[in-house]
Amino acid sequence: MLKKMNLWKNQNNSSSLRDRIQQIIDHEVPSHVAIIMDGNGRWAKKRALPRVAGHHEGMKVVRKITKLANELGVKTLTVYAFSTENWKRPKMEVDFLMKLPEEFLGTFLPELIEENVRVEMIGYMDKLPEHTRKAVSKAMEDTKGNTGLVLNFALNYGSRAEILDGVKRVLADVQSGIMDEDELNEEVFSSYLMTKELNDPDLLIRTSGEIRLSNFMLWQLAYSEFWFTDVLWPDFNEEHFVEAIEAFQSRQRRFGGV
C-alpha cells in the first residue's frame, strides 16, 4: 500500500513539474543562464565521503540541467567548472577535477550532438593539462555545427584576469593605431572579453548558501538577476532550476530605468 502511495505521489509531482515547465515556456525564458556550482565538497563531507565524490556527483547534475535548459529554450548555459584560484586546492583534488571534463564529455558527447547542443569554453586553456584540453577541444570541434543550446564551460576562468587582459589588448590596439581611444565604450570593451560571442547572462544561480560572485563574470553580470539557494550542487535538481526560472520571470528588469 505504501509503495503504491509513493508511486502516486511521484507521478503527481512529475505531472506538476511538467505543468510548471510548460508555463515557463509560455513566457519569457532567460536567454543566458550562468551557474556557480558550489557545495560539492560539503555534500561529500556530510556523507563521510572524499571531496572528489561530491565533484563526481555534481557532474551528473550538469547533465540533467543541460537537458532541461535546452528543453526550456535557454540559449546559453554557462557553468563555473574551475576557477583560476582553484589551483590552490590539494593536488589530488585538482587532478581529479581536471579528469572530469574528459569523463563528462566522453560519455555525454553523443547525447549533446543528438540534442543539437554546442560546447564552448571560456578560460585559459593553455594552462590546462593536455588530456583536459584534448577532451574540451574535441567536444567543441564535434559540436561546432550545432545550433541549439550553447553549453559554455568556465574552466580555469577568473574574471579579474579576463578584464585585465582585455584592458591590455585595448591599450595595445590604441597604441598601434588600430583603435582610437574615443571609440572605446562598453560595447567595444565587451568585444575584448572571452564572452564576446555571447550575450550577458540574464540570470545567475549560485548553490550552497554562499552569497558572493567569487571572481565570476564580474563585467557580464552587471545587470543580471541573481538567485541563491542553500541546496548543495549535487542535490540541485530540475525542480530547483524551474524554481529559479520562475523567480526570474516574476521580476521586473529596469536596467537602471523606472
Catalytic residues, which ones?
Answer: 38, 86
Classify each residue of 28-37 as buried b or exposed e, where b means 16 or more C-beta atoms within 10 Å of its C-beta: ebbebbbbbb
Residue 50 · residue 98 · CB < 8 Å: no
C-alpha 155/C-alpha 101 separation (Å) is 9
Q: Residue written as cell 532541461?
A: 68
Beta strands across the sheet bearing 203-206: 118-122, 150-157, 76-83, 32-36, 203-206, 225-228
Q: Residue written as cell 590596439?
A: 173
C-alpha 234/C-alpha 164 separation (Å) is 33
Residue 21 · residue 72 · CB < 8 Å: yes
Grid cell locating 98: 581536471
Q: How far apart are the first and last CA of the chain?
A: 56
